[in-house]
């Protein structure tokens, strides 16, 4: 999710029609965006990540204008863009570092404070989202005045790159920028691993920037006096760098700028960018109606797509569609059907229940678990709900057990870092958080634990356990055993107890629970050390039983 | 008369009472319960669902990747190859794909499932087209690597229906029926975006006390790039994943979602408000 911060007045100005906040909210809803916040004149709009073309106020206004029918269909940017002879030369030395670069020049711009604000906004948002923190795509914008084309992008040794970076008053080398400049430090990871760094220079030998890190203070700063700009996008994915450049170019074109396509020369191929040719799709009317359960005519579909800024014509019973190049979300005809449904309004479709009779069913384990839970409640126990994700400390150390095999996670943002291998420690934690409550406390849980299992495709398996625990001044082995005995007889389980030492329990007052000669659980009085670790003052008796054998 | 204390009694957890109710609703609608492992390989959680490798959600900042056991096993090589081709160039699905080189190693990475859509992918890979319709559901844990305590572990209410001749209206119909049974009187469908569905919907209900529309989760028609590699067919598949805690909060009138699962024993035993919605 990306947010667009834009003032109401700016958006209205760009749309070119007076709309109330309510009207804007309703159009945004239908397109698939959300007016998240209105604070005075400032709007906060949530945009789904599939529509980077709408992160600029201009792009958003364009989408709203289409939806309202102010300008139906494809906007003909192709005829507005001019081919130029300005050259942007991408050297082979870049191929292993940052293989793709594209560029353009925009003239006739009026860089008001508003537009400068918009540009900074869009650049930041595209970097953070679509550009994956500048690694997949990064944008550089420069005043064109003073730059001598052709412009060269090549790789250079870090110590050979020297220029004054933005916000600095002295020259630094490429290596120094990564160490000393705040922006350099932030994005160093993208190029640090290479022995050469990308550098952008003009034909007079001026350094314009070190993409994707930072621009030059002398050549890379747009001001209100700027009327012509040079834009480059570098990155690791051809389609992405092109889409980002086109999103920017169309934004400036909407502001009255004249876009000059540059000749981007690689050693083996030349392109004119920004690319603007619409993507062509052909789609079947039947497929549309089958997916939507409607009976739209071709004419209706043409209008609906027009309201999403897409051109559609009926040619020989096929709908031939032209999608703007900046609509990065269209991968398949189904994406066009989605647009048709948005234009029609999701809530205008009549919900109907499918008429295919089927017989429902619970998993056998679930039916058994429900019986067990009912029996426990019948015995006056309270069901608790604990988390699968927990800590090593709780699962092993605090219950006096040696650390056993378990599932652990990478870089958790929370204190929990392993999946539980036993429910009993979690029930102890539950007692720990209830010391203010009345006693006796009698609790149980039926839930899954996770064990390492090399034979499974995920190298682990879930196992359902029942754990019951009693905390009271008089509880003991006999009381908890009575509970287990009644479960045995109610469900007809053949369980045997054998004396067994378990670190969590008092020696001599603990046993293993066995089924068909295999251990399936444990039962006993909790060790005073463990009781103390959980800050309890009263004895605890507990059993934990795997239910897997009984399903 | 002498004042007396209420009799001591056992009790189910209120969250499980709702879970039991939800299961009942799915059974009534003819859905079969399924399950899948909490620890999942990236292949089922992401790749089979057409989430490209390198997508931000596949980063440790959102997802719990597993340190140990770090890698699992990929399924049948033919299926893996279809998924690979679909990501790279769309295979025979009519899609452009993403135009990158798909790698098997990244797909083997283990994680704690971020969604129950991994169950959907696993179930679809076993589907027999002759035995349609397939109607399945699951209510289980999902995990997010976040500082937001409530989201670290939450429950998803997931359902799927696959059948010839079902469409978008049926998706809305199934969801509406579910919401009616849960007593949500005012609902609407917000167009949205998910990588594995198109059309994509966020169902919302109107919360009368806060006077706000509240999201109930996500739903949609699975993309052809998901369905065809898994099933070999282009059968329409409707799917949803609803946010259990949002439903819980509304039914029990819990204001703070972080309190959805209280471990206060006194509270749990006394908090069993009767509701026609359960």
Interface confidence, given as ipTM, is: 0.95
Q: How many percent of chain B have pLDDT more than 70?
A: 99
CA dist A82 → A99, A244, A429, B276 (Å): 26, 19, 70, 67
Q: Please tell me if residue B33 touches chain A, with a CB cutoff of 8 Å.
A: yes
Query: pLDDT tens digits, residue range A451-461?
Result: 999 999 999 99
Query: From B142, which residue of chain A is nearest by alpha-carbon distance?
Result: A388
In chain B, what residues touch A471 (CB-CB under 8 Å)?
none
Q: Please tell me if residue B270 touches chain A, with a CB cutoff of 8 Å.
A: no
Which residues of A58-99 form beta strands (DSSP E)? 82-90
Q: Starting at the edge strand that comes first in sequence, how are the strands of the sheet with A318-323 ordered?
A: A279-283, A318-323, A311-315
CATH number of A279-343: 3.30.56.10
Compute the residue count for chain A.
551
Query: pLDDT tens digits, residue range B66-102?
Result: 999 999 999 999 999 999 999 999 999 999 999 999 9
| pLDDT of A79 higher than 90 | no
Q: Please tell me if residue B80 touches chain A, with a CB cutoff of 8 Å.
A: no
pLDDT at residue B269 in the model: 82
For residue A134, the tally of other CB atoms under 10 A from its CB is: 21
CATH architecture of the domain formed by A364-550: 2-Layer Sandwich (3.30)
Q: Please tell me if residue B103 touches chain A, with a CB cutoff of 8 Å.
A: no
Weakest mean pLDDT among A109-113, A138-142, B76-80: A109-113
3-class SS at A186? Answer: helix
| pLDDT of B253 higher than 80 | yes
For residue A309, the tally of other CB atoms under 10 A from its CB is: 22
Query: From B88, which residue of chain A is nearest by alpha-carbon distance?
Result: A331
What is the value of pTM for the model shown?
0.94
- Would you call B97 and A331 a contact, using CB atoms and an 8 Å cutoff? yes
* Residues paired with A82 in a beta bridge: A260
Choose, out of B34, B66, B266, the residue to mutate when testing the contact with A (most A CBs < 10 Å).
Answer: B66
Question: With left for phi above 0 and alpha for psi between -120 and 50, is residue B217 left, alpha or beta?
Answer: left
Min Cα–Cα distance to chain B from A32, Å: 5
| pLDDT (mean) for B118-122 | 95
DSSP state of B57: G
In chain A, what residues touch B227 (CB-CB under 8 Å)?
none
Q: Terminus-to-terminus CA distance in chain B, angstroms? A: 35
**Confidence bin at B207 (pLDDT 50/70/90):** very high
- Would you call A347 and B266 a contact, using CB atoms and an 8 Å cutoff? no
User: CA triplet A202, A205, A208: central angle to 5 degrees?
Assistant: 50
Which two tokens mark B213? 């529309």
pLDDT at residue B60 in the model: 79
Residue for token pair 């809530």: A347
Q: Please tell me if residue B240 touches chain A, with a CB cutoff of 8 Å.
A: no
Which two tokens mark B5? 């204390």
Decide yes or no: CATH 3.30.56.10 for domain A2-67: yes
Which two tokens mark A162? 């020297």
| pLDDT (mean) for B240-255 | 93
Q: Crossing angle for the helix pair B77-89 and B224-231, nearest 10 degrees?
A: 160
Residue for token pair 């239908």: A30
Which two tokens mark A514? 């066995």
pLDDT at residue B1 in the model: 73
| Segments of chain A assigned to CATH 3.30.56.10 | 2-67, 279-343
**Confidence bin at B209 (pLDDT 50/70/90):** confident
In chain B, what residues touch A380 (CB-CB under 8 Å)?
8-10
**CA within 13 Å, CB half, A467:** 24
Query: pLDDT tens digits, residue range A189-248?
Result: 999 999 999 999 999 999 999 999 999 999 988 888 999 999 999 999 998 999 999 999
Min Cα–Cα distance to chain B from A460, Å: 7
pLDDT at residue B57 in the model: 83
pLDDT at residue B130 in the model: 86
pLDDT at residue A129 in the model: 85
Q: Is the dihedral of CA A545, A546, A547, A549 positive or negative?
A: negative
- Would you call A361 and B26 a contact, using CB atoms and an 8 Å cutoff? no
Weakest mean pLDDT among A302-306, A309-313, A372-376, B144-148: B144-148
Rg (CA), chain B: 20
Q: Please tell me if residue B167 touches chain A, with a CB cutoff of 8 Å.
A: yes
Min Cα–Cα distance to chain A from B1, Å: 24
> B269 or B177: whose pLDDT is higher?
B177
In chain B, what residues touch A443 (CB-CB under 8 Å)?
265
Choose, out of B88, B97, B198, B260, the residue to mutate when testing the contact with A (most A CBs < 10 Å).
Answer: B198
Runs of H (alpha helix) within chain B: 14-28, 42-45, 77-89, 104-107, 117-124, 149-152, 168-181, 224-231, 244-252, 265-270
Weakest mean pLDDT among A82-86, A114-118, B203-207: A114-118
Residue for token pair 């039947």: A286
Query: From A48, which residue of chain B is nearest by alpha-carbon distance?
Result: B193
| pLDDT (mean) for A507-530 | 97
Which residues have C-beta within 8 Å of that of residue A1, sequence separation ≥ 6?
A46, A47, A48, A49
Mean pLDDT of chain A: 95
pLDDT at residue B4 in the model: 79
| pLDDT (mean) for B259-275 | 82
**Confidence bin at B56 (pLDDT 50/70/90):** confident
pLDDT at residue A40 in the model: 93
Min Cα–Cα distance to chain B from A318, Å: 16
- Would you call B64 and A383 a contact, using CB atoms and an 8 Å cutoff? no
> B263 or A401: whose pLDDT is higher?
A401
| Segments of chain A assigned to CATH 3.30.930.10 | 364-550
Largest CA distance in chain B: 81
Superfamily of domain A81-273: Phenylalanyl-trna Synthetase, Chain B, domain 3 (3.50.40.10)
Which residues have C-beta within 8 Å of that of residue A548, sequence separation ≥ 6?
A463, A464, A520
Pair B207, B185: CB distance under 8 Å? no
Q: Using CB atoms, which residue from A48, A238, A382 is nearest to B268?
A: A382
Q: How many percent of chain B have pLDDT more than 90?
A: 78
């Amino acid at each position: 999710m990306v947010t667009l911060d834009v003032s109401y007045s700016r958006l209205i100005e760009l749309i070119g029609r007076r709309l109330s906040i309510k009207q804007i909210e309703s159009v945004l809803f239908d397109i698939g965006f959300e007016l998240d916040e209105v604070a005075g004149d400032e709007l906060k709009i949530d945009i789904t990540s599939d529509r980077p073309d709408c992160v600029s106020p201009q792009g958003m206004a364009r989408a709203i204008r289409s939806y309202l029918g102010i300008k139906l269909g494809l906007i003909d940017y192709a005829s507005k863009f001019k081919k130029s002879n300005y050259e942007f030369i991408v050297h082979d030395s870049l191929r292993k570092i940052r293989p793709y670069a594209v560029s353009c020049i925009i003239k006739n711009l009026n860089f008001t404070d508003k537009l400068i604000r918009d540009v900074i906004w869009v650049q930041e948002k595209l970097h953070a989202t679509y550009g994956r923190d500048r690694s997949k795509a990064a944008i550089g914008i420069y005043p064109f005045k003073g730059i001598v084309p052709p412009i060269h992008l090549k790789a250079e040794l870090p110590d050979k790159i020297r220029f004054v970076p933005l916000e600095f008053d002295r020259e630094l080398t490429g290596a120094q920028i990564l160490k000393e400049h705040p922006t350099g430090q932030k994005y160093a990871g993208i190029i640090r691993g290479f022995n050469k760094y990308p550098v952008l220079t003009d034909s007079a030998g001026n350094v314009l920037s070190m993409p994707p890190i930072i621009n030059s203070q002398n050549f890379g700063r747009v001001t209100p006096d700027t009327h012509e700009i040079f834009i480059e996008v570098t990155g690791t994915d051809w389609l992405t760098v092109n889409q980002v450049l086109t999103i920017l170019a169309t934004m400036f074109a909407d502001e009255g700028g004249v876009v000059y396509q540059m000749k981007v020369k690689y050693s083996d191929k030349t392109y004119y960018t920004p690319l603007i040719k619409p993507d062509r799709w052909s789609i079947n009317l039947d497929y549309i109606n089958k997916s939507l359960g409607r009976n739209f005519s071709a004419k209706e579909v043409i209008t609906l797509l027009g309201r999403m800024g897409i051109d559609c014509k009926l040619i020989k019973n096929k709908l031939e569609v032209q999608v703007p190049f900046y609509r990065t979300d269209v991968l398949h005809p189904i994406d066009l059907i989605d647009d048709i449904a948005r234009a029609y309004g999701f809530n205008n479709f009549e919900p109907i229940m499918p008429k295919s009779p089927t017989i429902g069913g619970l998993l056998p384990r679930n039916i058994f678990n429900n019986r067990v839970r009912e029996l426990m409640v019948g015995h006056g126990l309270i069901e608790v709900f604990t988390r699968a994700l927990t800590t090593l400390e709780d699962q092993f150390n605090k219950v006096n057990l040696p650390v056993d095999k378990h599932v652990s996670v990478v870089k958790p943002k929370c204190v929990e870092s392993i999946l539980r291998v036993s429910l009993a420690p979690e029930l102890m934690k539950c007692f720990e958080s209830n010391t203010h409550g009345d006693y006796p406390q009698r609790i149980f849980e039926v839930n899954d634990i996770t064990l390492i299992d090399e034979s499974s495709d995920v190298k682990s398996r879930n196992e359902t356990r029942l754990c019951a625990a009693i905390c009271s001044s008089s509880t003991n082995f006999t009381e908890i055993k009575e509970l287990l005995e009644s479960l045995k007889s109610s469900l007809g389980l053949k369980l045997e107890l054998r004396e067994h030492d378990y670190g969590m329990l008092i020696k001599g007052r603990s046993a293993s629970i066995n089924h068909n000669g295999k251990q399936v659980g444990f039962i006993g009085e909790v060790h005073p050390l463990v009781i103390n670790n959980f800050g309890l003052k009263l004895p605890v008796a507990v059993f934990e039983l795997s239910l897997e054998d009984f399903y | 008369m002498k004042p007396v204390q209420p009799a001591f009694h056992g009790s189910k957890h209120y969250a499980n009472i709702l879970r039991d109710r939800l299961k009942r609703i799915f059974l009534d609608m003819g859905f079969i319960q399924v399950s899948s492992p909490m620890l999942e390989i990236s292949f089922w959680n992401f790749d089979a669902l057409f989430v490209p490798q390198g997508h931000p959600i596949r980063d440790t900042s959102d997802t719990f990747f597993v340190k140990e056991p770090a890698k699992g096993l990929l399924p049948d090589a033919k299926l893996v190859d279809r998924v690979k081709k679909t990501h790279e160039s769309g295979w025979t699905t009519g899609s452009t794909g993403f135009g990158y080189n798909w790698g098997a190693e990244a797909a083997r990475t283990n994680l704690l499932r971020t969604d129950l859509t991994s169950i959907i992918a696993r179930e679809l890979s076993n589907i027999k087209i002759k035995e349609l319709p397939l109607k399945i559901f699951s209510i289980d844990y999902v995990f997010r690597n976040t500082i937001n305590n409530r989201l670290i572990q939450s429950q998803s209410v997931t359902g799927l229906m696959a059948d010839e001749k079902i469409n978008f209206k049926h998706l809305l119909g199934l969801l509406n029926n579910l919401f009616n049974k849960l007593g949500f009187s005012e609902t609407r469908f917000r167009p949205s975006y998910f990588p594995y569905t198109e059309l994509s919907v966020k169902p919302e209900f109107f919360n009368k006390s806060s006077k706000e529309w509240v999201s109930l989760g996500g739903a949609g028609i699975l993309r052809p790039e998901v369905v065809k590699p898994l099933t070999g067919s282009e059968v329409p598949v409707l799917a949803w994943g609803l946010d259990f805690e949002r439903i819980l909060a509304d039914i029990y009138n819990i204001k703070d979602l972080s309190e959805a699962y209280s471990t206060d024993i006194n509270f749990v035993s006394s908090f069993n408000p009767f509701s026609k919605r359960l």
